[in-house]
Every structure is written in structure tokens, then in C-alpha cells.
């Protein structure tokens, strides 16, 4: 179905794997299109309640493919037509998305990881704001997500100096949810995805929607959003299930409805 990525569902989780390992999974325009299709597919499939994005081979993603000809390319158009729709599809998907960072995440590959809701990093993973080394600026939401995740000063340091940071450093900076040994990495990702996929998906989607909006909102607006979100969550089957399970002293079985 896809040339540059693979897409499969296992249980309630959709797995999207960037699949150009000989180029460390560098992005091409076809990969942008396929990513958007895969994300939309995961979004519309109601049996999917968590999404994992990872890379084939030893890398997560090395950013834009630098081996294609760049003569006369309008990079603004590449962003508007390729990267931006991918980031917007990820952020507006009301399901949790995990970046399973198996190896290096460089340039727009790092941006992709930042745009996900959780990052689990293998001890072998690393992160590089590689843009500066080719005279470019961070893109694909990088300048939005990075300072929000680690603060302005650290974001400036990483973006301008472009130094590689290890998975352990990324954990210390608050960039990743957890780091895991190479041997335990896939099992940990599967376990985490399964945990998320058994949670109240509607409530997770609402948390994601309104946390994103909170950055551009004042307190009164956030109070209004919380009331809107709570009305929707309060009418969900999962809320009823949570209440009944509490009263019956048993574990809830959430269905995502
Ligand atoms: O449209 C636009 O261009 C605007 C948008 C820009 C967004 C961006 O992402 S700009 C930033 C682009 N990415 C980079 O600058 C990163 C380039 N790659 C690297 O710096 C290094 O490869 C890594 C630090 C990621 C990994 O280093 P290492 O030593 O582990 O691997 P390597 O030997 O450098 O790479 C292995 C192979 O992958 C190699 O090919 P070969 O020699 O075995 O045939 C290398 O050329 C290839 N590769 C790595 N990155 C890319 C790539 N091929 C194409 N594009 C890449 N980005």
C-alpha cells in the first residue's frame, strides 16, 4: 500500500514505520504524503486507540533527504505542502501518538518526534537539531514544540549549536517520557501503547485538544474550554464505566466511547 512507510494495526494500536533505512529514513515528498494518509487512516479507524511512529533499521529519521536535487526548490512550499500537513494531522488526531525513537532523530526527524504526544527513546537514540549544520532553521513545528517542552534557553542552545544529545540527556531535559535499554525497547513501547489503548480515548483526545489550545489562551478561556470538554467527557460511556467500576471496586474496562 505504501512505498516509503509501512502501516499495520496490532490489537488497538496502529504502527507507522518510516521505511527508508539506507537513508536513515530521510523524508521525501512521497513520504510526507504517505505519512498524512497513514495518520488519517489511523484517525478514522475507530478500533485504533493509540498510534506508534518508529523507524526501520538503526535510525528514527534523519530529516529531509539531502541527496535530492535542491536546485530552485522553494523550501517554504516543501514545508507548506509536505511537512506542515503531516504535523497538523498528528496534532489534531484525538488519539495518543507515541514516537518510539529507536535511533537518531535529526532535523525534521526530531521535529516529527516532538510533534508526537509521548517520546520513548532507546538508550541508542539521539537527537540533533541538524538544520543549522546545513544553514537552515528548525521547522515542522520544531520552534513551537521545543521551547514548550524544554524552555526557551535550552531550545536556543540546541537549535543554534546543533549538538547531538543522547537519550539520557533528552530525558534530563524533559524531552522524552522514558529511556529504555535497546533489548527492552520494543516490549516497553508495546506495553505503553497497550496501556494507552485501553484508556478512555475520548478523554485523552479532549486533553490533547485543550492542552494544545491552552498555550494561546488566557485563564478565562481555559476555564471555558474545560467546561466544554468536561461536558463531552461526562456524557461518554467510559465515564459511566469508570464510575461503576469505582463503586463496584473493580478495574474499569474502557471502550473508547
Ligand atoms: O526542503 C527542505 O530541504 C527544507 C526542510 C528541511 C528539513 C530538515 O530536516 S533539514 C536537516 C536535514 N538533515 C540533516 O541535515 C541530517 C543529515 N544526516 C546526518 O547528519 C547524519 O547522517 C546523522 C547524524 C543523522 C547520522 O550520522 P551517522 O554517522 O550515524 O550516519 P551516516 O553515515 O551519516 O549516514 C548513513 C547513511 O545515511 C549515509 O549514506 P551512505 O553513505 O551509507 O550511502 C548518509 O548519506 C545517509 N543519510 C543520512 N542522513 C541523510 C542521508 N541521506 C539523505 N538525507 C539525509 N538527511
Q: Is the model's pLDDT at 70 over the cut of 90?
A: no
Ligand 1 centroid to residue 1 C-alpha, Å:
26
| Ligand 1, pocket-test mutation among 58, 87, 106, 158, most atoms within 8 A of CB | 106
Each residue of 5-41: pLDDT tens digit?
999 999 999 999 999 999 999 999 999 999 999 999 9
Q: What is the pLDDT of residue 184?
A: 98
Q: Is the model's pLDDT at 69 over the cut of 80?
A: no
pTM of the model: 0.97
Residue of the CA atom closest to atom 1 of ligand 1:
75
Give percent of the chain above pLDDT 70.
Answer: 100
Each residue of 81-114: pLDDT tens digit?
999 999 999 999 999 999 999 999 999 999 999 9
Q: What is the pLDDT of residue 45?
A: 97
User: pLDDT category, 53, cuts 50, 70, 90?
Assistant: very high
DSSP track, 142-205: HHHHHHHHH-HHHHHHHHHH---EEHHHHHHHT--SEEE-TTTHHHHHHHHHHHHHTS-HHHHH
Each residue of 195-215: pLDDT tens digit?
999 999 999 999 999 999 999
Amino acid at each position: 500500500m505504501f512505498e516509503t512507510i509501512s502501516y499495520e494495526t496490532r490489537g488497538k494500536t496502529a504502527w507507522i514505520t518510516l521505511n527508508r533505512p539506507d537513508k536513515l529514513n530521510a523524508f521525501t515528498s512521497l513520504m510526507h504524503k504517505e505519512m498524512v494518509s497513514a495518520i488519517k487512516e489511523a484517525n478514522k479507524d475507530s478500533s485504533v486507540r493509540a498510534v506508534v511512529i518508529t523507524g526501520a533499521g538503526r535510525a528514527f529519521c534523519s530529516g529531509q533527504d539531502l541527496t535530492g536535487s535542491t536546485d530552485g526548490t522553494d523550501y517554504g512550499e516543501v514545508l507548506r505542502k509536505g511537512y506542515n500537513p503531516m504535523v497538523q494531522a498528528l496534532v489534531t488526531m484525538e488519539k495518543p501518538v507515541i514516537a518510539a525513537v529507536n535511533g537518531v532523530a535529526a532535523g525534521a526527524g526530531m521535529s516529527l518526534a516532538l510533534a508526537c504526544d509521548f517520546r520513548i527513546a532507546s538508550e541508542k537514540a539521539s537527537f540533533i537539531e541538524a538544520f543549522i549544520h546545513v544553514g537552515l532553521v528548525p521547522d515542522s513545528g520544531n520552534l513551537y514544540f521545543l521551547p514548550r517542552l524544554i524552555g526557551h534557553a535550552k531550545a536556543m542552545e540546541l537549535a543554534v549549536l546543533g549538538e547531538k544529545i543522547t537519550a539520557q540527556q533528552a530525558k534530563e531535559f524533559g524531552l522524552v517520557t522514558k529511556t529504555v535499554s535497546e533489548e527492552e525497547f520494543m516490549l516497553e513501547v508495546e506495553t505503553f501503547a497497550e496501556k494507552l489503548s485501553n484508556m478512555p480515548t475520548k478523554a485523552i483526545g479532549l486533553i490533547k485538544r485543550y492542552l494544545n489550545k491552552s498555550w494561546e489562551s488566557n485563564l478565562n478561556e481555559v476555564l471555558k474550554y474545560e467546561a466544554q470538554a468536561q461536558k463531552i467527557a461526562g456524557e461518554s460511556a467510559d465515564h459511566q464505566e469508570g464510575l461503576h467500576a469505582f463503586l463496584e471496586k473493580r478495574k474499569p474496562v474502557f471502550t473508547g466511547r
